[in-house]
Chains A and B, each alone.
Chain A
């Protein structure tokens, strides 16, 4: 597979599509290299745990919401995503996707939606 150059999502690695192709705009994304940090006895700080990420939208239209919901019928699901890391390099990951359990809906749109991805493991 060619290296990703934009945001992607899919149920499997082979079925990933760009958000653009799915009719969803690119999110404001937040990427964390580690789940947590700890301080060693030497005083050094060390990152531990899987990378995690958040995709945030000011609003999602109902059709865009349906796209995400198609990958995660419940609260959480295993998916594949592509996104930039903190070095601005796009990479593909397997991830656990978690959708909000509570939404604000205004005029049919979903307001201030944050989709969380945890347990990111590079897929390539």
Chain B
């Protein structure tokens, strides 16, 4: 048994084996054979243009109870053929009917031959609307209640093992390592079925094993069930001593972008020997070193995918068939996606498409589970990055595009590794994972052939990165966020890039990402290409991982040593018994990134709306003596004389932001001489932060003095506020003032930013501690490396405590941390003080004001019996955001010309 963690650092022994080995390799090709389990003839008639979702059959051969959802159905004019089409079985058959995905593009006819093939692929689960009711897979209603699917991670799509003395052992990696219930409940049970296997052991645990005693292709399945009763069954395959194939690789085996592909030529073969969408595995028979791989029992896998018959060519000259094999991402990209609308809910009125706390990974999980069969055939690892969307509408034209469109809102996408596992995760360079990503190995001169090709930038490629989006939805308000890097104005070289329609955790997160994109795009090294002196399958384009360099000549002109390199393209070449791996990396520049800065775009001017004072749009009014700066001018021409009625005019404030902590930003003014009546009001577009709404005031100004005060309301249909005046009699004003009370207010947002320091302390029962010297101010302290989440592997959370002191431990402010309830319920936060905090994933982050220059962090618990190890922590700089208003447009309504 091993953990299902397909990225890890190589051991010293493994590196030695690579460096001393001869990189001798033989290749094998295992192909899923044509494997019909049931055949029959259609016994019904059809109406043209009407979708077909079930087929009545007769003349059956085979056991219909063996048919399960996800299998493949050939429809042909003769037995075994698929000349009329190939469709997916959507659920188990019965004695009279086969149930298929609703199909419009196959010309079914009575007496057609149908053959069920024991082949599973990546397909769409089509949606269907009947009235106002939404269905998936034709007749499965989008139900009320939480979606309780489980994203199963039980092992690579296929393994290849060999009989030794008549026995081939197999033990999939632990299904408990990364499987996750979409609704974040615990997985309660595991049930494995391995037909054809002997010596089955621990089949109801996440770590079973079994043996095979005959060559062949075997399908095994695992049913995972969570505590809410949610259940997911997935399938995987084992080739046992597959027959030797006469084949040659027609291309390198390449992993790039979202997955893997390769092309082979099989000799002495016919197209019928390679079924459509047949599972195909390229595996290695290494001589020296012995197979070094990422997952036990999958070490020899080079690449896994499904045959695309559209790529198939035949040659009568050498009696060969050539075809290409692609990983799941390719098939997802060929899979149609239906329009998608998902919404967040914080109430109990959830439905499958009304997701409780709709994080982007929850939304992507919905697409993967409800609208594709991906997880049926491939592990799907979901990274939790805690970004919540209010509503997601997507019309992408493929399942992959739809998943990546959702992920793209936080720079995440779906990628497949060479084992056939899929990973929905953020880009390595953009966002830190909750768990540190592994450095696979340090590459030295002993690892590479010839030299390194570095593409160097001589000038910045990007002058300015601009991000715009909204803050992770908090259930109440939409908060617009804008950030630019490296500054408001940008650099001198390069172009401008904009990433819009994003969601960020907060302003600091947007600033950090802007800085990282800027640093990434302007890395001194565009790319680094080199070839290994050997063949290795130790790294991949997914999941997130990096390589380090340590060359004897550290400079090589480009200072690569100690920089992290992210594998972006991996190419395995095989020549006459030799395997070599070529790698193209992108150099990571995250450590050099400088956070971007917040900015506010100018208020757009609508050319079609005539403003009342077009000649003075940008008068900057001092807050202290307004009247002296008003020009003695007649009312705007377009204001109606009062005897003739009232009118509405658009105006603008002289500031775009009010900030309670900035004495220069407590008031904004708008110049608009007019007469205010008892039904006059101003609609103001604005976004309020902290407690700004309850501390905002609007006045009418005359000769520099506030002469009338408005009452403030916040209508639900208005993105801002309405300031209503109710004078006893009409009153002339020169303009208007909006003001907020000074101070940061009571509702403060703490934004953790760049790392200020890091360290670790001993978690022993006596309580180790670590001191960090920092300037006084606000900081965020969060758990990092170490056994912070060891108490519950299935649903990990930080379970130890730490405490903080500003006076070298003379007094401790409080202890904080998570603990587990003993009644088996969910985890709760145990806060010993009143300091603000936030949590995401494995991390608990405490915000703390350091009043001295020494911050001491220590183990906060002396009672946990399992305290052990070194507990890492990170201290981040913090900015406080409180009472603040961003101002947009304003419309003054029901006023008339002053003095009339």
Contact = CB atoms under 8 A, between A and B. Distances in A.
A121 B287 contact: yes
Interface string A4-16: 0000000000000
A20 B374 CA distance: 61
Interface string A28-72: 000000111011111010111110000000000000000000000
Interface in B406-458: 445-452
Given A34-B22, A35-B24, A49 B576 contact: yes
A48 B24 contact: yes
A50 B24 contact: yes
A79 to B, nearest CB: 15
B533 A46 contact: yes
Contacts of A40: 445-446, 448-450, 533
A39 B449 contact: yes
A42 B576 contact: no
Given A48-B22, A48-B23, A119 B577 contact: yes
B224 to A, nearest CB: 42
22 contacts: A35-B577, A36-B575, A36-B578, A38-B450, A39-B449, A40-B448, A40-B450, A41-B449, A41-B450, A41-B530, A41-B551, A42-B445, A46-B533, A47-B22, A48-B24, A48-B534, A48-B578, A48-B580, A50-B577, A50-B578, A118-B577, A121-B287
A118 B449 contact: no
A35 B579 CA distance: 11
Contacts of A49: 22-24, 576-578
Nearest to A119: B577
Given A35-B576, A35-B578, A119-B26, A50 B449 contact: no
Given A48-B22, A48-B580, 10 more contacts: A36-B576, A38-B450, A39-B450, A40-B446, A48-B23, A48-B533, A49-B23, A50-B287, A50-B577, A118-B576
B165 interface: no
Nearest to A122: B287
A49 B535 CA distance: 10
Nearest to A47: B22
Contact of B448 (A41, A48, A119): A41
A51 B445 CA distance: 24
Interface in B554-589: 575-578, 580
A40 B444 CA distance: 10
Interface in B515-533: 530, 533
B644 interface: no
Nearest to B553: A41
A50 B22 contact: yes
Interface of B: 22-24, 26, 287, 445-452, 530, 533-534, 551-552, 575-578, 580
B23 A41 contact: no
Given A35-B24, A48-B533, A41 B576 contact: no
Contacts of B534: 48
Contacts of A38: 449-450, 533
Contacts of B23: 48-49
A48 B577 CA distance: 9
B441 to A, nearest CB: 15
Given A34-B22, A35-B576, A41 B287 contact: no
A2 to B, nearest CB: 24
Contacts of A41: 445, 447-452, 530, 551
A34 B533 CA distance: 13
Contacts, number: 58
Contacts of A36: 575-576, 578
A40 B534 CA distance: 11
Interface of A: 34-36, 38-42, 44, 46-50, 118-119, 121
Nearest to B452: A41
Nearest to A43: B445
A19 to B, nearest CB: 25
A49 B26 CA distance: 10
Contacts of B449: 38-41
A40 B530 CA distance: 11
A6 to B, nearest CB: 25
Nearest to A36: B578
A98 B740 CA distance: 89
Nearest to A118: B577
Nearest to B552: A42
A34 B21 CA distance: 11
A5 B273 CA distance: 46
Nearest to B20: A46
Nearest to B26: A119
A36 B580 CA distance: 12
Residue among B22, B449, B533, B576 with the highest chain A CB neighbour number at 10 A? B22
A40 B287 CA distance: 21
Contacts of B552: 42
A48 B19 CA distance: 11
Contacts of A46: 533
The 5 closest A-B CB pairs, nearest first, are: A42-B445, A49-B578, A41-B445, A50-B24, A48-B23
A34 to B, nearest CB: 6
A41 B450 CA distance: 5
A36 B576 CA distance: 10
B449 to A, nearest CB: 5
Contacts of B24: 35, 48-50, 119
A44 B533 CA distance: 11
Nearest to A52: B577
Contacts of A47: 22
A121 B655 CA distance: 79
A8 B24 CA distance: 24
Contacts of A118: 576-577
A40 B443 CA distance: 12
Contacts of A34: 22
Q: Which of B551, B552, B576, B577 has the most chain A CB atoms inside 10 A of its CB? A: B577
B533 A42 contact: no
Nearest to B24: A50
Which of A36, A41, A118 has its CB near the most chain B CB atoms (within 10 A)? Answer: A41
Nearest to A34: B22
Contacts of A35: 24, 576-578
A48 B535 CA distance: 10
Nearest to B530: A41
Q: Which of A36, A39, A44 has the most CB of B within 10 A?
A: A36
Contacts of B576: 35-36, 49, 118
B286 to A, nearest CB: 11
B534 to A, nearest CB: 7
A36 B534 CA distance: 12
A120 to B, nearest CB: 9
A44 B447 CA distance: 11
A49 B288 CA distance: 9
B247 to A, nearest CB: 14
B854 to A, nearest CB: 46
A39 B531 CA distance: 11
A41 to B, nearest CB: 4
Nearest to B22: A48
B791 to A, nearest CB: 46
Nearest to A121: B287
Nearest to B287: A121
A77 B450 CA distance: 35
Nearest to A46: B533
Nearest to A49: B578
A117 to B, nearest CB: 12
Contacts of B448: 40-41
A47 B575 CA distance: 14
B628 to A, nearest CB: 75
B452 to A, nearest CB: 7
Contacts of A48: 22-24, 533-534, 578, 580
A78 to B, nearest CB: 9
Nearest to A48: B23
A39 B530 CA distance: 13
A50 B446 CA distance: 20
Contacts of A39: 449-450
A60 B447 CA distance: 45
A118 B577 CA distance: 8
